[in-house]
């Protein structure tokens, strides 16, 4: 079948995979389209031939998702869709191809006095991959969600058409909000080929502050105080070497930062300390290379942070909480694989959202990494069935093994 | 349940009174189960239905189809829970927008989306339309403030889209539901984000001798890295209407445009930004820059802006409030072209702009009893959209598509673009009973084969 894709993208852009499988499902070949039209043509071809595709960007979150139910996969690598971004600082928007690395976009935006609010902890992450996977980052709050930064998308659909949704303006209620539907859909509804997003002013100053606590019970009240004071753009509670370090970042003018620090004092620390939070997040997306703990993400309300952490810590012999993002109620833990199904079931019973970000391919054969299917499973399947009736896009990898 | 001629007449339109329909009856449920029962009854006999809040929408989204059931949600108006720690409120759909903020102000919180109709419009309607408002510039439209929604689906079943903690599991159906104009189901409760009240608010009023300079000041403020809470612009015709009305705010009559800038945040930050905004406006030719000295003066500045639509009632019996968005830097050119078109068509048009967002509201005053004028209003309505699309804009920033702009969706989207919107709709409402015929134009083949679509196809706007 490789020859068929060669007719679309050229023989030079169909190659053998660097890794032979994805979660144990063989990857037959890697197809590298050079533009959005070729992406759409690849989808049309795959739909006609019943070939299962798995879109990929930088591969930085390659392991996220369930094991595909396909017998084999063709990897649709969007890395060639990386032309320079169109950054318009006057309008405060940028449009870029899906395969563009986030750091390239950010660097260009910074040159023009702007920044993005995209989580950038995963090395090599691309714009399209980030939109599809909707990752979290330490600078995350209910105000700063990736999906709120998106203005428009170009998406290739399984019927072979290239479509647009949203727009290139900062306010828009024209038709159904498909942008939000595609965001976080893990490439199961369409393949994102271009993204238009909001740009933000670069803050004049930025400061990372820290306090060290003996226990999570003493650390989290400060996190609540931070949230109420409203000054932190992100916060992380990091377990390391027997200590709990609460780090938070403030942005603004010098006088504002001084005022915030007066209200909630902390020790100023180096940016590298903040990067440690991102490093823990990035671990969850690293490929599985052998025995080791799985990575579990559990999410609830901000006030759930302590109960989630406590519930995980109570299984101390098999489960180690590593990091919490208290402003959004998220806790990351390393979990021994044997205990993972039990812990996932227990936390799901408590009503928390969860995702096993990293585990062995063997475990994925029996474990739904997103936990029990949600109550709206039928609706999710109805949506998938209409967008991708032949089930060619990442079949089985999404929530409820959709 | 009401089915008298007077009741059916009262519910024949929403705020877009140019298009009307006559419902079979109007039901007033008080519970989610009540809504679900009504929907199931409609499904059983194939009767179209639609939900309605306060009816303040301006795009015909709540205009009934002849013979349908209107499910009026105003009696479901309770606040079910306030969670100050997590800053959320769970409310019923008939709660009036401004009422929510009033209830949580003692906690130092407020609900940020603030449509001009916020003293009347309801949360359910805001969710349906993804409503905005003057403070959208900093705080966003309704969607980012909605964490989860309890929905009666078009088959009468009840589900929850999204989670009250804001974390997504599966496709973001909550995000897709917000702004779906009541075509995917009926919201019967929602958990909303509450936002801390700003410690300091500073409102500035800057009159300009011409609209272009005012727009340049807007761009300069944004370029300076300042994100005002609101950045509103009124043209001279709006100023005249306001100052001649009970909403008079002291806007200078000699100004060709007035810029209203609201800054909020920490006192030290606001003081800095205030100085910057004053300097930027002066450098762009502001005739004056007035800073509200107290809350009474701040409210007076806003009284003119918020009352502007009402003030235009003095100009003519009818008002058509248009809504479109263009790239911010295109505002001067686009407004000039719209004004020229108004002159060419001989219609009275005044502009209010959420300038920081590039969101225009050209307001057309007319008398519907004059058939010729009505036709000219329809013509310029279409021309405004064409001008905005040609400038890189979109059809709506906050009013939605409804019936008003449904048939103009093709200006922005191809048939291929519209297909996934129909797929999404069909996944929720395969029998097309839930507020049918709104927002998405039907393909020609469907229009010819489906009697309901034939009826809507006959609607002219």
Q: Is the pLDDT of residue B451 over 70?
A: no
Assess contact for B379 and B363: CB atoms under 8 A. no
Assess contact for B194 and B88: CB atoms under 8 A. yes
Distance of CA A228 to the CA centre of its chain: 27
Q: Is the pLDDT of residue B459 over 70?
A: no
Assess contact for B132 and B92: CB atoms under 8 A. no
Q: Is the pLDDT of residue B377 over 50?
A: yes
Query: Chain B: nearest CA to A182, how far in angstroms?
Result: 7
Query: Chain A: nearest CA to B423, how far in angstroms?
Result: 6
Distance of CA A164 to the CA centre of its chain: 22
Question: First and final CA of chain B: distance in angstroms?
Answer: 30
- In this prediction, residue A291 has a pLDDT band, given cuts at 50, 70 and 90, of confident
Strand-pair category, B79-83 with B88-91 = antiparallel
Considering only residues A117 and B451, tell me which one the structure prediction assigns the higher pLDDT.
A117
pLDDT digits (tens, 9 = 90+) for A43-64: 999 999 999 999 999 988 988 9
* Alpha-carbon Rg for chain A in angstroms: 21
Report the alpha-carbon distance of residue B176 to residue B174 in Å, rounded. Answer: 5
Residue of B nearest to A172 (CA): B397
Considering only residues A230 and A307, tell me which one the structure prediction assigns the higher pLDDT.
A307
- pLDDT score at A309: 96
Q: Is the pLDDT of residue B437 over 80?
A: yes
What does the pLDDT average to over A138-163?
93
Query: Both tokens of residue B222?
Result: 């944004």
Assess contact for B172 and A180: CB atoms under 8 A. yes
Contact B130 A177 (CB under 8 A): yes
Burial label for A307, CB within 10 Å (0-12, 13-18, 19+), is middle
- Spell out which residues of chain A touch residue B222, defining contact as CB-CB under 8 Å: 90, 92
Query: Both tokens of residue A383?
Result: 């949506």
Q: Measuring CA to CA, which residue among A353, A311, A359, A321 is closest to residue A337? A: A359
Within 8 A by CB and 6+ apart from B234, the residues are: B242, B251, B257, B258, B260, B304, B305, B308, B351, B352, B353
Average pLDDT, chain A: 94
What does the pLDDT average to over A381-402?
98
ipTM metric: 0.96
Assess contact for B161 and B177: CB atoms under 8 A. yes
What does the pLDDT average to over A366-382?
97
What does the pLDDT average to over B277-306?
95
- Output phi, psi for A207, to 5 deg: -145, 140
Q: What's the Cα-to-Cα distance from B117 to each of A20, B58, B95, B331, rounded to whole Å?
A: 59, 11, 13, 24
- pLDDT score at A290: 80
Helix (H, G, I), strand (E, B), or coil: what is residue B459?
coil
pTM for this entry: 0.96
Q: Is the pLDDT of residue B458 over 50?
A: no
- pLDDT score at B445: 47
What does the pLDDT average to over B262-284?
96
Q: What does the DSSP 8-state code read for residue A11?
A: G
Bridge partners for B70 per DSSP:
B26, B50
Contact A260 B160 (CB under 8 A): no
What does the pLDDT average to over B21-39?
97
- In this prediction, residue A2 has a pLDDT band, given cuts at 50, 70 and 90, of low
Query: Chain B: nearest CA to A12, how far in angstroms?
Result: 30
- pLDDT score at B446: 45
Residue of A nearest to B147 (CA): A142
Provide the number of CB pairs (under 8 Å) joining chain A to chain B.
228
């Amino acid at each position: 079948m490789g020859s068929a894709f060669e007719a679309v993208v050229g023989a030079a852009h169909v190659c053998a995979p660097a890794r032979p499988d994805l979660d144990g499902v063989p990857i037959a070949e890697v197809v590298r389209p050079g533009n959005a039209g070729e992406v759409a043509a690849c989808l049309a071809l795959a739909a006609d031939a019943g070939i299962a595709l798995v879109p990929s960007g930088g591969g930085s979150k390659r392991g996220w998702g369930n094991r595909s139910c396909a017998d084999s996969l063709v990897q649709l690598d969007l890395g060639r869709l990386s032309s320079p971004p169109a950054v318009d600082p006057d309008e405060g928007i940028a449009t870029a191809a899906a395969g563009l690395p986030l750091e390239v976009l950010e660097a260009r935006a910074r040159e023009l006095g702007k920044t993005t609010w995209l989580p950038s902890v995963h090395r090599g992450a691309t714009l399209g991959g980030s939109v599809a996977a909707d990752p979290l980052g330490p600078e995350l709050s209910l105000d700063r969600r990736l999906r709120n930064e998106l203005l428009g998308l170009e998406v290739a659909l399984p019927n072979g058409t290239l479509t647009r949704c949203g727009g290139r303006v900062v306010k828009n209620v024209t038709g159904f909000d498909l942008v939000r539907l595609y965001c976080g859909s893990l490439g199961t509804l369409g393949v994102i080929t271009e993204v238009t997003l909001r740009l933000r002013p670069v803050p004049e100053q930025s400061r990372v502050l820290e306090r060290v606590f003996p226990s999570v019970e003493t650390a989290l009240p400060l996190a609540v105080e931070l949230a109420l004071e409203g000054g932190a753009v992100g916060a992380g509670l990091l377990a390391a070497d027997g200590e709990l370090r609460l780090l938070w970042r403030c942005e603004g003018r010098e006088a504002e930062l001084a005022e915030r620090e007066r209200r909630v004092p902390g020790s100023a620390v180096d940016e590298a300390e903040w990067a440690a939070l991102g490093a823990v997040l990035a671990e969850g997306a690293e490929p599985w290379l052998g025995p080791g703990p799985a990575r579990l993400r559990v999410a609830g309300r901000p006030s759930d942070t302590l109960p989630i952490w406590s519930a995980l810590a109570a299984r101390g012999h098999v489960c180690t909480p590593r990091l919490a993002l208290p402003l959004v109620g998220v806790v990351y833990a390393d979990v021994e694989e044997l205990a993972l199904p039990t812990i996932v079931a227990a936390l799901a019973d408590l009503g928390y959202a969860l995702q096993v970000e990293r585990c062995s391919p063997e475990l994925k054969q029996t474990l739904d990494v997103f936990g029990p299917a949600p109550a709206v499973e039928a609706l999710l399947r109805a949506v998938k069935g209409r967008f991708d009736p032949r089930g060619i896009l990442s079949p089985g990898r999404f929530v409820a093994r959709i | 349940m009401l089915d008298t001629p007077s009741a059916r007449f009262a519910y024949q339109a929403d705020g877009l009174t140019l298009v009307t329909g006559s419902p079979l009856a109007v039901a007033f449920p008080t519970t989610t189960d009540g809504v679900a029962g009504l929907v199931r009854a409609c499904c059983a006999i194939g009767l179209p239905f639609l939900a309605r809040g306060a009816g303040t929408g301006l795009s015909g989204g709540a205009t009934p189809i002849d013979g349908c059931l209107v499910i009026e949600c105003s009696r479901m108006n309770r606040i079910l829970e306030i969670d100050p720690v997590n800053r959320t409120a769970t409310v019923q759909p008939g709660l009036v927008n401004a009422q929510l903020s009033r209830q949580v102000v003692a906690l130092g919180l407020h609900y940020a989306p603030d449509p001009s109709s916020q003293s009347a419009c309801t949360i359910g309607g805001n969710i349906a339309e993804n409503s905005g408002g003057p403070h959208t510039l900093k705080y966003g439209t309704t969607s980012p403030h909605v964490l989860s929604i309890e929905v009666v689906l078009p088959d009468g079943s009840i589900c929850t889209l999204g989670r009250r903690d804001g974390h997504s599991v599966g496709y973001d159906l909550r995000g897709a539901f917000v702004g779906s104009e009541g075509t995917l189901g009926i919201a019967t409760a929602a958990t909303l984000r509450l936002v801390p009240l700003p410690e300091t608010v500073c409102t500035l009023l800057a009159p300009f001798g011409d609209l272009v300079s005012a727009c340049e000041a807007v761009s300069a403020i944004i370029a300076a890295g300042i994100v005002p809470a609101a950045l509103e612009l009124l043209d001279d015709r709006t100023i005249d209407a306001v100052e001649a009305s009970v909403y008079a705010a002291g806007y200078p009559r000699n100004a060709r445009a007035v810029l209203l800038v609201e800054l909020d945040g920490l006192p030290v930050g606001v003081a800095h930004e205030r100085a910057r905004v004053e300097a930027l406006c002066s450098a762009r030719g502001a005739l004056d820059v007035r800073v509200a000295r107290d809350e009474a003066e701040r409210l007076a500045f806003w009284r003119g802006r918020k009352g502007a639509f009402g003030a235009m009632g003095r100009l003519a019996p009818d008002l058509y409030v248009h809504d479109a968005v263009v790239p911010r830097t295109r505002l001067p050119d686009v407004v000039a072209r719209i004004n020229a078109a108004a002159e060419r068509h001989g219609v009275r048009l005044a502009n209010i702009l959420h300038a920081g967002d590039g969101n225009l509201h050209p307001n057309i005053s007319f008398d519907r009893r004059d058939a010729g004028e009505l036709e000219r209003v329809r013509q310029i309505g279409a021309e405004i959209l064409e001008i905005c699309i040609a400038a890189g804009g979109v059809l709506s920033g906050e009013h939605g598509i409804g019936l008003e702009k449904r048939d103009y969706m093709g200006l922005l989207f191809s048939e291929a673009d519209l297909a996934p919107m129909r797929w999404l709709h069909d996944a929720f409402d395969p029998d097309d009973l839930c507020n049918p015929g709104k927002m998405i134009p039907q393909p020609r083949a469907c229009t010819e084969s489906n009697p309901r679509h034939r009826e809507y196809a006959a609607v002219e706007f």
